[in-house]
A = this chain, B = another copy of it.
């Protein structure tokens, strides 16, 4: 409040060139087109920010509302005391945001954000994920940073879970400010991961898939399937789906969920039946095995395979010959050699990283069958977290969460206890 009073009384401005790094300056929202430089200064005991240029998002964070107009004439400078508050998107709010905004619109927007970050791929830290394996599954932490924001995702993989009514994969994610180390955002990521995976498929398809195709075959109708269908429609204009799953209940769920969303859907009798004469194929199956849901002979030469189900050691989907005779594109080679379809190929099997195609540094294919061997990478989670954070800040989908202690005096943690009872 002191800071807002200072603002009203004409506090000193701290203008800085937009985008400048160094000292205590940072651009919040590296995903956003807007430039925003902030410097942390101390006003009384409250952490406050001196804002050189501000965005609508930032104004939404201002509280109480009457002060908002005071900053409306950006790029005016001002002092904002509430920006250290951590935002939270819970499961219910994520579901509402996606449902009310439209999953296809979100996947489309996220595809654009992904393309921006894939273009600056070398700026990101590409630490391998940190995995804790047990006999029944794995728990992973997937961090990355672009030097300004830091994110990590917690994600598990427990193939036996569905037999017990639980999901194979659950996730949540956190974003933090590299300059202060303070977490700024926490979000459910089970739904969000499905959106970012579909957006990544859409981005790869934009650069690698044939055009003027209206039908996609889908092998696997599980948790990811509807999101994949929407992503590929948004990107390629797919209007017809030919779907096959070994579990008829999953297929029925898929048809039910997409009913009313404008697809023509044909249920195939087999995987081979689904892909016959189709040039766009998505495989998203869940078996933890070196499966071969498609044989080499099934696949139309020159087809595009969006292969997302082979994503951990011992879990692949494709007849290895499909991969051997295709141009293969990956996210992060080092990780995909362990987790993707190419885990069954030699360690020097040639692949191309997608970001290099997007930056114009590598060709999109040679006319052979193309496989996008997708396993998911931390930069995609970073992008998804940044995207949803920007989208929901200042809306009813975001709440504040009291996770990070903020003592008035940073050296007086004990003072937060008030007058504790003696022993």
Binding site for B on A (CB under 8 A): 24, 40-48, 84, 90-92, 94-95, 98-105, 108, 125, 127, 130, 132, 134, 136-139, 141, 143, 145, 147, 150, 152, 154, 156-158, 160-168, 170, 172, 174, 176, 178-183, 186, 188, 190-191, 194, 222-227, 230, 233-234, 247, 249-250, 253, 257, 260-262, 401-407, 409-423
User: When A141-B141, A253-B409 are in contact, do A104 and B165 touch as well, CB less than 8 Å?
Assistant: no
Assess A253 versus B412: contact at CB under 8 Å? Given A99-B418, A403-B91: yes
Q: A99-B419, A102-B421 are in contact. Are A141 and B143 (CB under 8 A)?
A: yes
With CB as the reference atom, state the residue of chain B lying closest to A402: B90
Selected from B147, B160, B413, the residue in CB contact (under 8 A) with A223 is B413
A181, chain B: closest CB distance, angstroms: 3
A145 touches B132 (CB 8 A): yes
A101 to B260, CA, bound (A): 56
Query: Quick check: B150 and A405 within 8 Å, CB to CB?
Result: no
B residues within 8 A CB of A108?
423
Closest approach, in angstroms, between the C-beta of A388 and any C-beta of chain B? 14
* Alpha-carbon distance A253/B415, docked complex (angstroms): 8
**Given pairs A95-B405, A170-B405, 14 additional interface contacts (CB within 8 A):** A47-B164, A90-B402, A91-B404, A91-B406, A103-B417, A103-B420, A139-B178, A141-B152, A154-B176, A161-B410, A166-B180, A190-B413, A230-B423, A234-B423
Interface centre among A47, A90, A174, A414 (most CB of B within 10 A): A414
A227 to chain B, nearest CB (A): 7
Contact for A405 among B174, B183, B188, CB less than 8 A: B188
A-B contact pairs, 27 of them (CB 8 A): A24-B160, A43-B165, A90-B401, A91-B416, A94-B405, A99-B419, A100-B421, A103-B417, A108-B423, A127-B132, A130-B141, A139-B176, A139-B181, A141-B152, A152-B154, A158-B179, A166-B410, A167-B405, A167-B407, A170-B405, A188-B402, A188-B403, A190-B413, A191-B413, A253-B411, A260-B419, A260-B422
Known A99-B418, A414-B226: A404·B162 in contact at CB below 8 Å: no
A199 to chain B, nearest CB (A): 14
Partner of A227, one of B162, B233, B414, B423: B414
Bound Cα distance A47, B166 (Å): 6
Residues of B within 8 A of A421 (CB): 99-102
Of the candidates B48, B154, B182, B191, the one whose C-beta lies within 8 Å of that of A183 is B154
Contact of B250 with A411 in the complex, beta carbons under 8 Å: yes
Task: Evaluate contact between B164 and A41: CB separation under 8 angstroms.
Answer: yes
CA distance A190 to B190 in the complex (A): 27
Distance of A41 Cα from B165 Cα, bound (Å):
8
- With A47-B164, A164-B41 as given contacts, are A147 and B134 in contact (CB-CB < 8 Å)? yes
A227 / chain B contacts, CB cutoff of 8 Å: 413-414
The residue in chain B whose Cβ has the minimal distance to the Cβ of A152 is: B141
Decide: B165 and A47 in contact? CB cutoff 8 A. yes
Whether A170 pairs with B181 at a CB distance below 8 angstroms is: yes
Expressed in whole angstroms, the minimum distance between the Cβ of A369 and any Cβ of chain B is 29
Contact at B98–A417, with CB atoms within 8 Å? yes
A42 and B165 contact, CB distance less than 8 A? yes
Q: How far is the CA of A161 from the CA of B91 in the complex (A)?
A: 33
Chain B residue at minimal CB-CB distance from A136: B179
Contact A410 to B136, CB < 8 A, known contacts A127-B130, A183-B172, A405-B91 = no
Pick from B48, B98, B156: contact of A420, CB below 8 A.
B98
Once the chains bind, are B410 and A167 in contact (CB under 8 Å)? yes
Q: Closest B-chain residue to A84, C-beta based?
A: B166
Chain B proximity of A109: nearest CB distance (Å): 11
